[in-house]
Structure 1
Amino acid sequence: MQYSIWMNSKNRYRDDWKKDFTKLQKAGISNVFLSGSIEEIENALKFSDEFNHKIHTWIFTMICNDEEIIKHHPDWFTVNGLGERSCYKPQYVGYYKWLCPTHPEVQEYLQKRVEKLCEISELAGVHLDYIRYCDVILPEALQPNYNLVQTREEPQFDYCYCQHCRTAFKKQNSIDPVDLVNPSENLKWMQFRFDSISNIVRILKDKIHHYNKKATAAVFPTIMQKNVRQQWHKWNLDAVYPMLYHSCYDEDFNWIEEETRKGKSLLKSTKLHSGLYIPAIKPDDLRLAIDTARNGGADGVS
């Protein structure tokens, strides 16, 4: 069983990396997913040679808070059922500014971004996070944090109704999605969003594999696929890392095993590594959490 970890590379220097990598090697960590700039990733790689783990870059794929892009390309961002762009009126939290996966210029931008990362020769792979739409319904345990009670899909959280999505859907189905009486119940409109995300994953996966690097993704549990429009079992990546954060769903460790087993049953050759939420796990219980993931058939934990 492999062990992986998500890490932030900011404000770390030579001695920090040596210390961190030593700890990770002692803990048996195989894969390190680092967020940060190209320079920060390259800096970390300078000090990783003597250690056994592999370094992957970890990117917020569809989230974009680049002020220059917001200023010059606001049309790249998703539009909700009320006609509001996420770059101007993000839902839930301020950084929830989502790019539209259907927009051709967004696809080109993300390809170039991934290609620059793949040009780092020592990098083992690219790890796609936030590779989805905004949550149309939050996990139940998180809703009180935003003074919400969500029992059905509401238009302010439902994306994307930009002109590119509307035109593409109408071309396929002879109806504009804004004219749907109950958009949340329209299976073709639901599948259109699933397919839009799956398509951008395919585009980026092909680019990553062109450089002989691993393409992986942090994904939601199977029970949340519909709420974030994320059919990750169809992506055929090298590995997926479902975030089985049991406390967000008012569940115990048994749920981790159940969700791991469900995820494995959907996959063919793709590896599945169960993502554990360490802040919700007591140190003495970590081994038990890992064992429940293993019992569910996980190829690893992160």
Structure 2
Amino acid sequence: MIQSIMSCLHSSTMPLAVAGIGIMAIACTGEGVPATVSPNGSTISVVTTLYPLEYFARRIGGERVTVVNLVEPGVEAHSFAPTPADIRKLDGADVILYNDPAFEPWIPRALAAISSRDRAVTRTGQGGEGKDYGLDSHVWLDPQFAVNQVRLIHSALVKEDPEGAAVYATNATVLVADLEALHSRFSSSLHSCNRDHFVTSHAAFGHMANRYGLEQVSISGLSPEAVPGAGHMAEIADTIRELGVEYVMVEPVIGTGFAETLAREVGVELLPLHPLESLTPEQSKAGENFISLMEANLESLSLALGCNT
């Protein structure tokens, strides 16, 4: 699994953003995702903003929903900006699922630009009872927080399509069980390791690290577009030497230049660690999904941390 993911890190350059913001008052109808209702046999249209939300919505909704994710495979989610066509997709949706304005700063303007017809609009990057997860909105990387996202998506679908409540409840229960099983595998595999620090391309893995008693050391901050200074790179190199870190974890969608430079300087290897904000085109075509990529993440972490599995 690790080898297959590493192969895509050195593939041809992939687009990093869609062109133009294009957020203006576009109260359009008849384009984008069709607005449909379930009583006449058609599906509920769902628009999502990140891959994990797309995956969760498809799993819960099954054949009762049609899901379109705005961030296509190969697009770096942090740098995404919606086009007018994307705004039309949002306008035609019955259900809109987004993570958090901290991750998608464009979402408030996009929602203000669409028509005000009844639809379910759900922010999934929040904890139970509206608890704020802080500045780090990569909540899906903690399987326990992902369970809460599943419950919020389940509620949104039931609100829009009450007739499908039984189907949604059954599918959500199965998905929650899969996430709980994933959490159990992470807990058992990362319980006894030689190290508790791992070095990452950007600070996407804070919630995952906190859940399993680990510490991430990030080259960039919460956004991978931030350019690390020479002093910061030197500090990380010293940390790697002091802690005996043997790998630098890299992501398949963003560039690996800084990580490769750091790895060469300190004489360590690269390993993939996927933030799952979006897939690569190769992963999408190969049928990789949230669960399989999280399991690959666990494999990488177990190797990097020297775990006794």
Q: TM-score, normalised by structure 1?
A: 0.29
Greater RCO, 1 or 2 (C-alpha within 8 Å, sep 6+)? 2
